[in-house]
Amino acid sequence: MSAIRLLVLGAVRQHGRAHGYQVRNDLEYWGAHEWSNAKPGSIYHALKQMAKQGLLHAHEIAPSTAGGPPRTEYEITERGTEEFFSLLRESLTAHDQKTDVLSAAIGFIVDLPRDEAVALLKERVRGLEQWRASVTEYYTPEEGPQSLGHIGEIMNMWVSSADFGAEWTRGLIRRIEEGAYTFAGEGEPFVGVRAEGDENPYATGEPHEGDLG
């Protein structure tokens, strides 16, 4: 699973109602074009697809206020909301995911209650630890570690990554448990979208030096 569906669902959800370009802009505001495959084509495709699947409801709208082709506005449905939370929970707990999925999930983590967020992250750590154990056991050949040659470096990288990921997650859990950030049901939510007309301080036309590709 790529991160695009989660990102798009979450963006539409925060707006209540949004057209493609708005979503596109939010994702850029979040830096998502730097760590995920959030290209225009993917976004519009995801919107259409999820509308077809009943996760979003499409409103055909008159020509836009500011040039360009007519826009379609989308609203998240109940099924869409369920799907959003399902994706979010899965993305937070599953260790076997690419970085972009986790990044996206962190971006929406405050849409969950604080307790649940912590519980899910703890499950993530457990998963990482288990996976680390199973990899080291499974890929440790009887002929000694040298029989793998440099291929062993790949295993080494996985295992180290797992350790790093677990450690980082523990840090995040600690911060959340100590009261950082504002979670669902704790009053004024964090505003993660720009108001109309607000300028985006992080957006530049071309990806800046240091793009994640």
Q: Hey, how many other C-beta atoms are within 10 angstroms of the C-beta on 81?
A: 13
| Residue 71 engages DNA in binding (rule: CB under 7 A) | yes
What's the rounded Cα separation, in Å, for the pair 11 and 19? 10
What's the rounded Cα separation, in Å, for the pair 77 and 22? 18
| From 2, 77, 136, 156, residue interacting with DNA (rule: CB under 7 A) | 2
Task: Give the x-and-dash track for 9-38 against DNA (CB under 7 A).
Answer: ----------xxxx--x-----------x-
Nearer to DNA, 50 or 112 (CB): 50
Query: Are 7 and 38 a contacting pair, CB within 8 Å?
Result: yes
Give the residues across from 56 on adjacent strands. Answer: 76
Vertex 202 angle, CA 208 and 44, to 5°: 85
Residues between 180 and 209 with contacts to DNA, criterion CB under 7 A: 205
What's the rounded Cα separation, in Å, for the pair 34 and 100? 9
Minimum CB separation of residue 213 from DNA in Å reads 9
| From 69, 149, 201, 210, residue interacting with DNA (rule: CB under 7 A) | 69
Judged by beta carbon distances under 5 to 8 A according to partner kind, the member of DNA, a copy of itself, none in contact with residue 46 is DNA
Minimum CB separation of residue 186 from a copy of itself in Å reads 12
| From 16, 62, 65, 187, residue interacting with DNA (rule: CB under 7 A) | 65
What's the rounded Cα separation, in Å, for the pair 82 and 80? 5
Minimum CB separation of residue 82 from a copy of itself in Å reads 22
List residues near a copy of itself by CB under 8 A: 30-31, 35, 94, 96-99, 102-103, 106-107, 109-110, 130-131, 134-135, 138-139, 141, 149-151, 153-155, 157-158, 160-161, 164, 168, 172, 175, 180-182, 190, 192, 201-202, 208-213
Report the b/e string of 16-43 with b at 16+ CB within 10 A.
eebbbebbbbbbbbbbbbbbbbbeeebb
Burial class for 56, CB neighbours closer than 10 Å (0-12, 13-18, 19+) = buried
Judged by beta carbon distances under 5 to 8 A according to partner kind, the member of DNA, a copy of itself, none in contact with residue 64 is DNA
Closest CA to 18 of 49, 42, 43: 43
| Residue 41 engages DNA in binding (rule: CB under 7 A) | yes
Binding residues (CB under 7 A) for DNA: these are 2, 4, 19-22, 25, 37, 39-42, 44-46, 49, 64-72, 205
